[in-house]
Amino acid sequence: MLTSFTRNYQDNSTEAGFQFTFYCDICNDGFRSSFIESETYKKGKLFTNIGRGASALGSLLGGRASRIGYGADRASDILGERFEGRSPEWQKEHEQAFERAKNEAMRHFKRCPSCNKYVCSHCFNEDEGLCTECAPRQEIYVARARAEAMKRNIDAAGAAATVWQGKIGSRTTVCPTCGKPAGSGKFCNNCGASMELKKCPKCGAENSRNVRFCNNCGENLSVAATVPAGKCAKCGTQNSPGTRFCGGCGNKLV
């Protein structure tokens, strides 16, 4: 059984020749060996050319030469079929080519005595004599550790940062007539009732139409509704909304 100096390689061989790609056990960068042409393949092409030449000659000279050409051509076909099944000659060539490829590739890889991995020069720490997984290069390891610490600090600061301090909430206006959400228009989406606010005649504050007392000053809105806003009940003078005393007689307005 063929064994490689590395566990990580690919056989790129074909019927025409042999070539192999060896990969680093850490970074998987590859080295492809030189192409070695198969001698059996070259002989097969020679037999094929002889057979074709004899067949052409036989077509010119007659039956006997033609039969000779057919026999040679048939022999080359049989040889081609043996290539399809990888003949013993091809197998022997393949083994020899693999050994040559190993010797060529070994100059580009080094074996780590700690983990026994075969690695390229970029993944081998010459100062320590180990692969970079067993003995990382100090400057690279320090830079990586600093970068990872920086990312952790940034993530922690981002998680603790307050980017919004508002309150999450929503307001739903309920229709005082039907008791269902009325929407944002001037009229209820369900029953069509007016959604305009009731203005307090005493302080001018706006109140919902279904409240009886002003939310701002406590004025009884149901009583105030019977008297025109700002009109003095004593002298009949019309005063501005929110006025507490009549401008005509000084009477305290309701």
Cα-Cα-Cα-Cα dihedral sign, residues 59, 63, 64, 70 = positive
Q: Provide the pLDDT for residue 230.
A: 72
Instruction: Out of 2-16, 77-91, 141-155, 180-194, give the one with best mean pLDDT.
Output: 141-155
Those residues with Cβ within 8 angstroms of residue 113's Cβ, 6 or more apart along the chain or in another chain:
129, 130
Q: What is the pLDDT of residues 128-175, one digit of tens each?
A: 999 999 999 999 889 999 999 999 999 999 888 888 777 766 666 777
Burial (CB count <10 Å: 0-12, 13-18, 19+), residue 4: middle
Q: What is the pLDDT of residues 95-139, one digit of tens each?
A: 999 999 999 998 999 999 999 999 999 999 999 999 999 999 999
* Cα(133)–Cα(75) distance, integer angstroms: 56
Entry pTM = 0.46
Q: What is the pLDDT of residues 183-230, one digit of tens each?
A: 777 788 888 777 777 778 778 788 877 778 888 888 887 765 555 667
- Between residues 228 and 59, which one has the greater pLDDT? 228
